[in-house]
């Protein structure tokens, strides 16, 4: 407004002063790059070896014969040993890259019975792990099960749980008496052989992973870890949600991975609920280029969000549409279960079908047909184009999912809150109980919602304009982490691995609960989306990796959340008053309740706004920002470029003055002092 006026006085013709950038010495730590470079060779070499492994494992898919075992071990050995020497984390390699490439789930504490064919693999790992021991075979495998304390005092040599013992530790039959908490659960949709999960589960190597350590984690340790995490969180600034960013960051967008085949109007995703299961993250490809992998993931997610979603007027998707999933036929024995959403007033109609079976091997098998996304409210002008509406909806959905959903468990109409109990203990094993078992998708409400528009909690809210405002609350779902972290670890074959640090006590466990979301590559009906509840994932997160690599490879990008026009307006307003160097203030002033907008985000947005304003309208992308606002952006940018925002209120006043009088003369004043004078 005022700025505009000023601008009309000739500023449009001016070259906006290129703000003298503060001298920036080479900020990047060169040594880092050097280090990385130096590892490339080894990296690639290992990658290629891994590739070999892959081929071999594929060619000899069904069974790992002796020759195979002999062939690969050498490689694996080298890799693993090296890791042990150079970096504490130990991981288990996933040998079968086939179906597991995209999704691998590793039940954390307990494993499922392993097929005989897995012995060779396990053995090999056992051998490798226990490098100190020259012996091979199960005998040298240190059974973890039953040990209560050892885990913490663990020593370098990794102990791999022999497959033979799995059954004992298995979900269905594990002894609960010794205090061990059995958290692992495998939701095995045995209905379809095409099921990617199943295929993964069939692969012992994958399952085995090195959840080993985790397998012996008992309550005490869980508590320990939990406390630790808690204290860490306390350290964050309470008033601002910014502090939670780190955590949220980890949580933000990876819980949901959609398979390429998601059907429109349907979000079907077998889900690993919070039953203590932990899908294990794995290296999806042998590629030694983490970026590529990452890009792949992002691409898929985007693809997912591109799917159309019906705007639920009230009831949302009809149960029918959901149930029409391709797999329907395979689950004639479905015990219908109720899947409802929301506990806070959000619609929670029954929306899915879920087959629940009790398998012969004491596993509880669940087949959650689909989950409906929570209700969305979208308010757009009549003049909006269909295309825009679609995008709007996509954004809403994406935003919602990105904001986090958590899974709740309902049994006999009651919420099952104790995440640490086993299914057995909870009684989720009998056929009867399964029939009353339900999962709920609940928006997370940990954080105060962003009160921008309506009171409707946890939903995409209607606002004055056509933009959406997501109030997706904090999520408790934890994002998956890449467990193979440092470059030197990367080359390992697609593996699920759970790392732990038994010896490095001073190492901090990953701040986030590692859980995994795996993509399904399975062609048709696989639409697995996996989410894991933090509590259960808690035990899983223990990779003693250094901050650097952790951040660079484990952290998933936050979901993109384009600024709405109103947000831009608020930002412009704030900057006009506060200047461009006080982003924290801007945040506090205008985005204090927008958890997902950090001051860095605001700063970045401003940067792009300035850029946008400077380019031709045709070159602009995304939701168009009113020229009016862009003009203000330029004006403010110009102004503050000359008037360092060093004095707060004074400058604010100065701005007001300047804008009011809006004359080139005023703008030539070089600083607040001058203005004052």
Partner DNA sequence: TTTAGGG
Partner DNA sequence: CCCTAAA
Please name every residue paired with 442 in a beta bridge, in sequence order, or none if there are none.
Answer: 406
Q: How far is the CB of 540 from DNA (least distance, A)?
A: 21
- Based on the shown chain and the rule CB under 7 A, indicate whether residue 557 belongs to the binding site for DNA: yes
Answer for the pair 447, 474: CB distance below 8 angstroms, yes or no: yes
String marking each residue 149-168 x if it binds DNA according to CB under 7 A: --------------------
649 binds DNA (CB under 7 A): no
Options 215-223, 414-422, 439-447, 603-611: segment touching DNA (CB under 7 A): 603-611
Q: What is the DSSP letter of 157?
A: S
Q: Which is nearer to DNA, 32 or 303 (CB)?
A: 32
End-to-end CA distance of the chain: give it in Å, rounded.
Answer: 25
Taking CB under 7 A as the criterion, the residue among 151, 301, 307, 603 binding DNA is: 603
Is there a contact between 458 and 449 (Cβ–Cβ < 8 Å)?
A: yes
Q: What is the three-state SS of 312-357?
A: CCCCCCCHHHHHCCHHHHHHCCCCCCCEEECCCCCCCCCCCCEEEE
Per CB under 7 A, contacts with DNA among 250-269 are: 252
Side-chain half-sphere exposure of 564, counting CA atoms within 13 A: 23
For residue 287, the 8-state DSSP code is -
Q: Which is nearer to DNA, 134 or 547 (CB)?
A: 547
What is the token pair recorded at 10?
A: 């000739």
Smallest gap, in angstroms, from Cβ of residue 243 to DNA? 4
* Residue 141 or 247 having the CB closest to DNA: 247
Q: How many residues in the shown chain lie near DNA by CB under 7 A?
A: 42
Separation between Cα atoms, residue 193 and residue 200, nearest integer Å = 11
What is the token pair recorded at 479?
């994002």
Beta bridge partners of 356: 366
Cβ of 196: how many Cβ atoms within 10 Å? 28
Question: For DNA, which residue of 225, 249, 471, 482 counts as binding (CB under 7 A)?
Answer: 249
| Residue 401 to residue 406: CA distance in whole angstroms | 10
- Binding segment toward DNA, per CB under 7 A, in 59-67, 307-315, 439-447, 597-605: 597-605
Task: State which of positions 270-309 bind DNA (CB under 7 A).
Answer: none
Pick the binder of DNA from 22, 62, 66, 177 (CB under 7 A).
22
Residue 513 or 559: which CB sits closer to DNA?
Answer: 559
Q: Which stretch binds DNA (CB under 7 A): 331-339, 363-371, 417-425, 558-566?
A: 558-566
Give phi and psi for 358, each to the nearest 5.
-110, 115
8 A C-beta contact, residue 163 and residue 114? yes
Separation between Cα atoms, residue 330 and residue 512, nearest integer Å? 37
Distance CA(97)–CA(311), nearest Å, equals 39
One of 599, 642, 647, 650 touching DNA (CB under 7 A): 599
**Toward DNA, which CB reaches closer, 347 or 399?**
399
**Beta carbon of residue 578, minimum distance to DNA (angstroms, whole number):** 9
Stretch near DNA under the rule CB under 7 A, chosen from 61-69, 131-139, 408-416, 600-608: 600-608
Confirm or reject binding of residue 496 to DNA (CB under 7 A): no
* Residue 240 touches DNA, criterion: CB under 7 A: yes
With beta carbons less than 8 A apart as the criterion, state whether 427 and 441 touch: no
Nearer to DNA, 303 or 646 (CB): 646
Q: Which stretch binds DNA (CB under 7 A): 108-116, 315-323, 333-341, 583-591?
A: 583-591
x/- string (CB under 7 A) for DNA, residues 182-221? ----------------------------------------
140, 499, 601, 631: residue in contact with DNA (rule CB under 7 A): 601
Q: Please tell me whether residue 442 binds DNA under the rule CB under 7 A.
A: no
CB of 649 to DNA, least distance (A): 15
Which of 269, 268, 255 is CA-nearest to residue 533?
255
Query: Per rule CB under 7 A, is residue 236 in the interface with DNA?
Result: yes
Q: Alpha-carbon distance 189 to 347, whole Å?
A: 28
Check if the beta carbon of residue 195 is closer than 8 Å to that of residue 359.
no
In order, the DSSP letters of 11-79 are GGGSPPP-PPPPP----S-HHHHHHHHHHHHHHHHHHHHHHHHHHHHHHT-S---HHHHHHHHHHHHHH
Q: For residues 242 and 532, which CB has a smaller minimum distance to DNA in the complex?
A: 242
User: Does the protein bind DNA through residue 582 (CB under 7 A)?
Assistant: yes
Side-chain half-sphere of 93: how many Cα atoms within 13 Å?
37
Question: For the residues of 438-493, what is the DSSP string, one character each?
Answer: EEEEEE--SSPP--SS-S-TTSEEP-SSS--EE------PPPB--S--STTTTTS-
Collapse the DSSP code of 643 into the 3-class scheme (helix H, G, I; strand E, B; otherwise coil) and give the result.
coil
Tell me if 621 contacts DNA by CB under 7 A.
Answer: no
If one asks whether residue 60 binds DNA (CB under 7 A), the answer comes out as no
Residue from 53, 206, 516, 555 in contact with DNA (CB under 7 A): 555
Please identify which residue in 237, 360, 414, 621 interacts with DNA, judged by CB under 7 A: 237
Complex with DNA: residue 203 or 549, whichever CB lies closer: 549
Q: Is 607 in the site for DNA (CB under 7 A)?
A: yes
Question: What's the burial of 239, exposed, middle or buried (CB within 10 Å: 0-12/13-18/19+)?
Answer: exposed
The Cα 319–Cα 146 span in angstroms is 45
Smallest distance, DNA to C-beta of residue 469, A: 13
Candidate ranges 337-345, 361-369, 529-537, 544-552; the one touching DNA (CB under 7 A): 544-552
Is residue 637 close enough to count as binding DNA by CB under 7 A? no
> How far, CA to CA in Å, does 609 sit from each of 45, 565, 571, 644?
44, 11, 10, 19
x-or-dash string of contact with DNA, 2-21, rule CB under 7 A = -----------------x-x
Residue 608 lies near DNA (rule: CB under 7 A): yes
Least distance from C-beta 489 to DNA, angstroms? 17
Is 89 within 8 Å of 501 (Cβ atoms)? Answer: yes
Q: Is 548 a binder of DNA (CB under 7 A)?
A: yes
Q: Does 243 bind DNA (CB under 7 A)?
A: yes
Cβ atoms of residues 130 and 87 within 8 Å: no
Which of 15, 24, 414, 621 is in the footprint of DNA by CB under 7 A?
A: 24
Only one of the segments 28-36, 199-207, 372-380, 521-529 lies at the binding site for DNA (rule: CB under 7 A); that segment is 28-36
Instruction: Choose which of 14, 29, 155, 674 interacts with DNA (CB under 7 A).
Output: 29
Instruction: Note whether 584 binds DNA by CB under 7 A.
Output: yes
Chain contacts with DNA (rule: CB under 7 A): 19, 21-22, 24-29, 32, 235-237, 240, 242-243, 249, 252, 548, 551-552, 555, 557-561, 580-585, 596, 599-601, 603-605, 607-608
């Amino acid at each position: 407004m005022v700025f505009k006026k000023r601008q009309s006085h000739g500023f449009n013709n001016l070259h906006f002063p290129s703000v003298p950038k503060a001298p920036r010495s080479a900020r990047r730590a060169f040594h880092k790059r050097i280090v990385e470079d130096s590892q490339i060779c080894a990296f690639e070499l290992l990658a290629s070896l891994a590739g070999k492994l892959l081929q071999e494992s594929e060619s000899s898919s069904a069974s790992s014969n002796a020759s195979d075992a002999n062939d690969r071990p050498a490689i694996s050995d080298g890799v693993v040993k090296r890791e042990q020497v150079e970096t504490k984390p130990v991981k288990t390699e996933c040998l079968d890259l086939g179906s597991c490439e995209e999704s691998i789930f590793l039940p954390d504490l307990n494993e499922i019975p392993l097929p005989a064919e897995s012995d060779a693999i396990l053995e090999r790992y056992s051998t490798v792990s226990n490098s100190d021991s020259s012996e091979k075979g199960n005998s040298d495998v240190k059974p973890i099960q039953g040990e209560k304390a050892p885990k913490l005092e663990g020593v370098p040599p990794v102990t791999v749980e022999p497959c033979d013992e799995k059954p004992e530790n298995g979900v269905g039959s594990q002894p609960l008496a010794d205090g061990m908490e059995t958290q692992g659960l495998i939701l095995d949709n045995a209905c379809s052989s095409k099921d990617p999960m199943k295929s993964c589960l069939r692969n012992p190597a994958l399952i085995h992973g090195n959840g080993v350590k985790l397998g012996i984690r008992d309550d005490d340790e869980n508590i320990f870890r939990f406390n630790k995490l808690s204290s860490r969180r306390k350290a964050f600034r309470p008033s601002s949600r910014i502090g939670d960013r780190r955590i949220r960051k980890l949580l933000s967008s990876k819980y949901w991975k959609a398979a390429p085949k998601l059907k429109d109007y349907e979000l079907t995703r077998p889900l690993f609920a919070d039953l203590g299961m932990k899908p294990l993250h794995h290296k999806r490809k042998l590629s030694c280029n983490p970026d590529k992998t990452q890009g792949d993931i992002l691409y898929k997610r985007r693809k997912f969000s591109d799917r159309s979603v019906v705007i639920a007027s009230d009831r949302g998707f009809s149960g029918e549409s959901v149930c029409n999933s391709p797999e329907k036929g395979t689950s004639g024995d479905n015990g219908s279960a109720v899947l409802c959403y929301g506990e806070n007033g959000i619609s929670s109609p029954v929306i899915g079908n879920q087959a629940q079976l009790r398998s012969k091997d004491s596993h509880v098998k669940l087949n959650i047909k689909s989950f409906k996304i929570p209700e969305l409210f979208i308010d757009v002008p009549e003049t909006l184009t269909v295309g825009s509406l679609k995008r709007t909806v996509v954004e809403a959905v994406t935003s919602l999912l990105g904001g986090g959903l958590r899974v709740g468990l309902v049994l006999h109409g009651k919420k099952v809150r104790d995440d640490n109990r086993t299914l057995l203990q909870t009684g989720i094993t009998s056929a009867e109980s399964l029939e009353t078992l339900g999962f709920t998708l609940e928006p997370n409400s940990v954080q105060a919602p962003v009160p921008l528009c309506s009171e409707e909690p946890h939903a995409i809210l209607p606002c004055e304009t056509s933009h959406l405002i997501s109030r997706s609350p904090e999520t408790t779902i934890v994002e998956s982490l890449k467990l193979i972290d440092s470059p030197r670890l990367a080359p390992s074959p697609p593996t699920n691995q759970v790392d732990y640090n038994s010896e490095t006590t001073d190492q901090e466990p990953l701040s986030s609960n590692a859980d995994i979301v795996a993509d399904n590559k399975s062609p048709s009906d696989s639409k697995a989306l996996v989410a894991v509840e933090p509590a259960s994932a808690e035990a899983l997160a223990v990779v003693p990796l250094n901050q650097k690599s952790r951040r660079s490879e484990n952290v998933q990008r936050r979901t993109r959340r384009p600024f709405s026009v109103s947000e831009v307006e608020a930002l412009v307003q704030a900057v006009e008053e506060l200047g461009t160097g006080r982003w924290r203030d801007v945040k506090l002033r205008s985005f204090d309740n927008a958890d997902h907008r950090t001051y860095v985000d605001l700063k970045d947005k401003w940067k792009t706004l300035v850029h946008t304003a400077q380019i031709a309208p045709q070159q602009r992308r995304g939701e168009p920002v009113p020229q009016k606002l862009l003009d203000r952006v330029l004006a403010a940018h110009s102004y503050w470029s000359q008037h360092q925002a060093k004095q707060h209120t004074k400058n604010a006043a100065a701005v007001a003055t300047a804008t009011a009088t809006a004359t080139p003369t005023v703008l030539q004043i070089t600083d607040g002092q001058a203005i004052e004078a």
